[in-house]
Every structure is written in C-alpha cells, then in structure tokens.
Structure 1
Amino acid sequence: MKMAAITQRLSGLGSSKWEVHVRARKMAASGADIVEMTIGEPDVSLPVELADASIEAIRSGRTGYSDGRGEINLRKALAESYSFSRGRPFGPENFLCFPGTQTALFAVLKGIAEDGDEVLVGDPMYATYEGVVRSTGADMVPVPLRPEHGFRMQADDIAARITPKSRALLLTTPHNPTGSVLTEEDVEAIGCLAREHDFWIISDEVYEHLVFEGTRFVSPLSFPAFADRAVAVSSISKSHAAPGFRSGWCAGPQAFCDRLLPLAETMLFGNQPFIADMTETAVRDGSPVAEGMRRRFAARAALLADRLEQHTNLKVHRPKAGMFALVDVATTGMDGEAYALDLLSNGGVAVMPGTSFGEGLATWVRVALTIADADFEKALSRIVRHANALTRKSA
C-alpha cells in the first residue's frame, strides 16, 4: 500500500541510531554484567513537591480539555520567568505549551520550513534533529562544530553555508552531545547573520539549568535586535528530573505564536491541565534538584577526563554543561561505532557512537554522566582496562 513521503524521508532515522543501546539492554536482560552509559536521564527522582502538585491538580478536577495555547497560569509563570532571565518583557502571548521539547521543536520547524527550504544544523547534533528537519520536507545543511573551537558554532562556518534557501538555523545551547555553551559574542554574531540573511534562529535550551560553575548561559531571546526572528524551545525534563511528564513549550514573537497556534491545536490542543499546574509550580519555585545534578555531572566529567588521560591514550572533551562527555577514540585505530561495539562486547560498558549524532564525531563516543558514582567508577576501570588491552594488541 502507498504511504506518505514523510515515511520515506524518515526511514533509517529514529531508533536505528540507538543500536548499541538496544543491544546493551538485550545483553543485560540475558544476564550480562553491563554498565550502561548511553542515554541521559536525570540521576534523581521527580521532586516530591512536583508529584504532590500533579496529584493535587488531578484530585481538584484539572483533567478536562486544555487551552489550545497551554494553560494561562503556566504561560503567565513562563512570561515572568523569561522576563527576568532574558532581560526583556515577555507575556503569556509569547508562549505555546507542548508535551516536551521534542514536540515543541517538531511544531516550530513545521511552522517555519517546507519543501525547497534549507535548515542549518550544527554537526554534531542531537540524534532526533535530522528527523525533525526531514519531516518538514526541507534539507538539512550540517554546520561543522569543531573541537578546536570547543564545539561552539562559529559565525564564519554558518556564513559559508548560507544560500537563498536558508530558512532557519537550529541551535542547541547548552549543547548535546558536546556540552558546549555559546558565549554572548557567539550568539550576537549568529544573530547578526540571521538578520542580514533573513532566517529564523531556533534555540533548543533544555539544558539551560545544567550549566557548570564558571560558565554563563546566553539565549538568543536576550537580544532585542533579534527578537522578531528568535524562537526557543525547552521543558522541565532535565532541570526538574521530570522527563516522563512530557511538559515543554516554545517561546517567541507573538505574531509567530499566533500563526503557529492552528498547527499546535491540530496536533495536540494544548497540554494536560494537571501537568500544566505541576509545571507552573516548577517554573515559579525553581528546581530543588538542578544544583545537585550540576555538581555531580561536572565532577564525573572531570574524573572521566583525568582518569582516561592519565591511564590511556584516549582524549576527553571536557563539557561546560549537560549530562554527557565526549571521548576521542582515534588512537585505538577504530571509528566510534566499532569502538562502542567492541567496548560493549569485550569491556561490558555501553556508550553511544559519535556518528549517532553526526559525521563530525566519526572517531568519538558519547558517555553519559548520569549513572551512580559506584557504577561510574566501575565503568572507568573497565574502559581503562579495555583501552590498554587494545593498545597492547596493536603494539
């Protein structure tokens, strides 16, 4: 039977990028001793305050149909929070609410790009980005994020790939998988390009509250000069250890949100009122768990880098934020995929091949920093032992 073209455009994406993760889960289910460092889930449970807020909302009857834009109480809370953090006024009309960042990003891109357009995306990128761009019919244009620049997107690299078809630039700051954070100068230079060449900036900011000490987060939404062309997406999944609640939003110009509303309503018709009430609590009260995660993830990243660089030939890119670190495995003579499969089979540790996030990480792997300290220590010992065995084998 004939199916829509979107199914062909998305063929080979999605779950196929997680082959090592799926294989590791199967091995563990069969009794193998596997330390899993593939996906990034918060290493703490949902705060009890948020659980209580959602339960109380359910009991009070907040289970009916939703406002298509998202519940007004949540949008007011977001407006107050963004007005303070971005340093310019926002109102409830500047937000649409969605089930998580992924859904918000899908809707935003569907509202901006279509067949014949191009969307500029940093390479490496989060694993779903190629899919959300392809779903619109637009072509994805990779912009290299270079290790020598700390994997921060550079305006010159964007400029070299701009064409008359360029409709949008998809940013991630803080970045997954590299942990880089754009500086104020980076963001301003990128905004100037967007204004000069008339394209949108879409900024995925889900890791905003997991920036390590000594690094400052800057959003494109903070620049009034680019306010008419900047849209951000985010959620409480990472900051509040609430990935399963799927509560996110987009923030942007009122005219943009007004135009996107019929698409959002066609897809979802708002988010669940009881989850919106819980999210309002999260936004107004801040996160009771983010600071602890920041400290633990930064400490584990430093431990990973110190241990591997002292005892192996592997090199670690030290992240500035987020839940992951990158390890360069080029000295093993393997690419990232071959290394990840070998480490899983012969070392008992599951990591993600860099190519799951773009061709720019062909000789890298991504390591999650979200497992318990004892398991993290076990994984480090196994990675060191495996790397030294590879060195002896190649000698």
Structure 2
Amino acid sequence: MRFASVTDRLADLGAAKWAVHFESRRRVAAGEPIIELTIGEPDTPAPQALIDAAIASLQARRIRYSGGRGEPSVLQAIAAKYSKRTGRSITTDNTAYMPGTQTALYAALAALAEAGNEVLVGDPLYATYEGVIRASGADIVLVPLDPANGFHLRAEDLEARITPRSRVLLLNSPHNPTGATLSRDEIAAIVDVCRRHDLWIVSDEVYEMLSYGAPFASPFDLAEGAERTVVVSSLSKSHMLPGMRAGWCVGPTEFIERLLPLSEMMLFGGQPFIQDMAAYALSETFAECAESAESFRVRAEILPEMLANAPGLRCPKPEGGMFAMVDVSGTGIDGEAFAWRLLEEEKVAVMPGASFGQQAAGHVRVALSADASQLREAASRMVRLAIRLNQGKAA
C-alpha cells in the first residue's frame, strides 16, 4: 500500500526518545517505587476556580461547534494579555485559539515553511521540534547551544548557519530542556539577525511565567520583532492544566488570516467550555499559579546545591522552566547509559540528554515535577551512582 511521504519523515521520531520514561511507567504500574522525573507535567493542582468554571460551562451545554478562530471571549482575553505585555494594541485580529502549544507549533510551521525551506532551531531542542519541522517538509538546521555559554542561543552562531533557503527560526525561552533564559539584549540581537535575513520567528513561550534569572523577554515585545514573530503558548504550565489543551497563536494580522484556513482544516475550533475556562484564566490572577511558579523556583536550587561536590556531575542552576540539566560526562559514561543505570540501580527515572539533541548527549534532563523532598532523595541517589562510577574508573 502507498502512504504519504510525511509518514516516512516522522517514522523515527516517536516513542524511541521516551524509552526510559515508558519503562519507568511500566515499572510503576508493576508496583516498583520509582521516583519519576521524566516529563514536564506540573504536580501542583490547578486552581479550583478554573475547574469549577469549566464544569459550569459544560453544564450550561457549551458543547456546540465553535468558530475556527476561537470563541470571542477567549480571543479578547488573549489580545488583552499581549496588549498589556507589549504596550501595543493587540486585537483579536492578531489571535487564534489552538488546543495546546503543540497544535499551535504544528500549524505555525505548516503555515510558514515547506519543502525546499530550512527551519533553524537550537540544539538541544524540545523533543517534538524536529517532528513539527519535518512535517512541514522543511529541513531542520541545528544551531549548537554551547553548554559553556549556559546553552544560550548566540546571534552570531545563528547567523553562521543561515542560507538562502532559511525561512524560520524556532525559538524557545525559557528553554526546554536546558532552562536557559535569554535576556532582552540577546533577544534583540537575534531579532536583528532575523530582520536582516528576512526570517520568521516562531517563539515558544509556554514557560513565560517560569523565569528565575533575567526577566522574561520576547521578540514579539520588541517593535522591530513584532512584524515577524509568531508566539505560541498555552495554559499547560502556567495554570497547571496540561490535559485541557488550551493554547493559542499570536502574531501579525496577515499571518493569522493565512493560518485560519489551515487551522479549520485541522480541527475547526476547540471545545467552547474549555475556551470559556481559558478566557477566565487569562482575565484573572490566581494565587495557586504564583505558588506553583515559586515552588519551581525553589526546586531549581536543589540539584545544583546537592550535586555540587558529586564526582563527575555538574548541574548549573536553571534560569527558568521546570527542568535541570545535569552534565554526567565526568562519570565516564554518556547520558543514555547514566539514565538507564539510574533507573536500574537507584529507581530514579530521568531523560537522557540525547533525546533532545546531540549537544546534550553527555547530560540527563531532570524534571522538577516532584516535591522538594523527592528531589533531594533523587539527588542523593544520583550522587551514589556517581560515586560508584568514579570508583569503577579508579579501579
């Protein structure tokens, strides 16, 4: 039988990267006491007021078809959020509701790139980025993010890899998996490169509310970046609602108009009752959200503190997001081997760095999605493994 070429382009990008995670889930289901630190899923409860709002809207039978762009209330709430953030007048013409950041990424890349084009992205990179780029038909161009530079994307490194086929930069700050958070000056330098080479910027800002060092900065907030930037984001992390699939695209009016037919062919609108909840979430402030962000800020300090003197391990403090990157190369094995041994010998599940690109092959990614006591216990077990590996090297 015959299949579309997109199925071949995506054939090797599925479950293999998540093998440690799936094995840990299997063991947990079998009763093993595994500390799971593999995926970026908030462990704190969502605001009860948002759950109540979704239930009330569902009970009000808000389950009919929605417009392809989104319900007026949520579009207005998204526009208000970005008007306040940028200081410019952002209207509903600049917004489109999407069921989560992943769908927004897929749609945005499909609208901006195709076969014969190139999309640039930093390496390491979030695990699905290669897939959404390949799905568009474009080629992926990796821009190495140097661990010695805190995994920050440098404008000069980006410019060195631009060719006449380059069309889009896929940017993520705060960054998954490394936690790198770009400053306003760094963003401005990147915008200047993209302006001079006529590149779009797709800015994944799902960790906007989890910036611990430099204040959050976006190319969309800069006047010189606004005309070429598409923001994708959601409530998954900020409001602890990953399963509700409530997200959006924000960008220039012409981009949104061209995106809309594509979006309608994909899904023709999201569930109205979830959009009602999303509008409420974006229009109010919730103590639970601030408390969750603070908990991740505190957790971000635990591994750097506890691994500071561990033989062969190095863990800089994350600047944002909900992950810590641990350099395990000093143990004599790579991140893949370390993750499997940590699971087998110490009952702790983390992600091999190579699942996120070759620049992270000597690392493991640790999700800060457990309370402080569990993170401290996991760090202690990592130290135990590192000591054994160091003793093995000495022998």
TM-score, structure 1 normalization: 0.98
Q: Cα RMSD over matched residues?
A: 1.1
- Give the whole-Å Cα distance in 1 for the aligned partners of 2:82 and 2:130: 28
Alignment correspondent of 1:60: 60
Note if 1:383 corresponds to 2:382.
yes
Deviation at 1:191, TM superposition (A): 0.9
Matched residue type, 1:58: L
Which residue identity is paired with 1:279?
A: A
Q: Structure 2: which 5+ runs fail to align?
A: none
**Which structure 2 residues correspond to residues 235-314 of structure 1 after superposition, within 5 A?**
235-314=234-313
Matches within 5 A, 1:122-271: 122-212=122-212, 214-271=213-270
Q: Tell whether 2:352 aligns with 1:361.
A: no
* Distance in 2, Cα, partners of 1:151 & 1:194: 20
The residue that corresponds to 2:14 in the other structure is 14
- In the other structure, the counterpart of 1:323 is 322
Kindly provide the amino acid, as one letter, of the partner of residue 153 in structure 1: L
Query: Cα deviations across residues 269-321 of structure 1 (Å, max 9, x unaligned)?
Result: 12111111100111011343232222222222212111111243310021111
2:7 partner amino acid: T
Whether the 8 Å CA contact 1:191–1:220 is kept in 2: the answer is yes
SS at match of 1:122: strand
2:210 touches 2:297 (CA, 8 Å); kept in 1? Answer: no
Report SS of the residue matched to 2:24. helix
Q: Tell me how far 1:195 sits from its aligned partner.
A: 1.2
- Residues 182 and 214 in structure 2, CA contact (< 8 A), matched pair in contact too: no
TM superposition shift of 1:59: 1.7
1:199, CA displacement in angstroms? 1.1
User: How has the CA–CA distance of structure 1 residues 129 and 287 changed in structure 2, closer, same or farther, with 3 Å as cutoff?
Assistant: farther
Aligned to 2:43: 43
Give the whole-Å Cα distance in 1 for the aligned partners of 2:235 and 2:329: 36
Conserved? CA contact 1:101–1:234, under 8 Å: yes
How far the C-alpha of 1:17 sits from its partner, in A, is 0.8
Moved more, 264-273 or 302-311: 302-311
Separation (CA, whole Å) in 2 of partners of 1:323 and 1:104: 21
Give, in whole Å, the separation in 2 of the partners of 1:325 and 1:394.
26
Query: Could you tell me whether the CA contact under 8 Å between 1:210 and 1:291 is conserved in 2?
Result: no
- Asked if structure 2 preserves the Cα contact closer than 8 Å seen for 1:221 and 1:232, the reply is yes
Residues 210 and 293 in structure 1, CA contact (< 8 A), matched pair in contact too: no
Poorly superposed stretches of 4+, deviation over 6 Å: none
SS of the aligned residue for 1:342 comes to helix
- TM-score w.r.t. length of structure 2: 0.98
Distance 1:117 1:287, change over 3 A: farther
Deviation, structure 1 residue 119: 0.1
Q: Tell me which amino acid in the other structure corresponds to 1:309.
A: A
Unpaired runs of at least 5, structure 1: none
Q: Distance in 2 between matches of 1:225 and 1:215?
A: 21
Counterpart Cα distance in 2 of 1:318 and 1:71: 40
Q: Which residue in 1 is equivalent to 2:69? A: 69
Identity %: 50
Other structure's SS at 1:209 match? coil
Aligned residues between the structures: 394
Which whole-Å CA distance do the structure 1 matches of 2:312 and 2:226 have between them?
A: 46
Equivalent residues of 1:210, 1:290 under 8 A apart = no
1:313-365 CA-partner distances (Å, limit 9, x unpaired): 31002111111000000111111101111111111111100011001001000
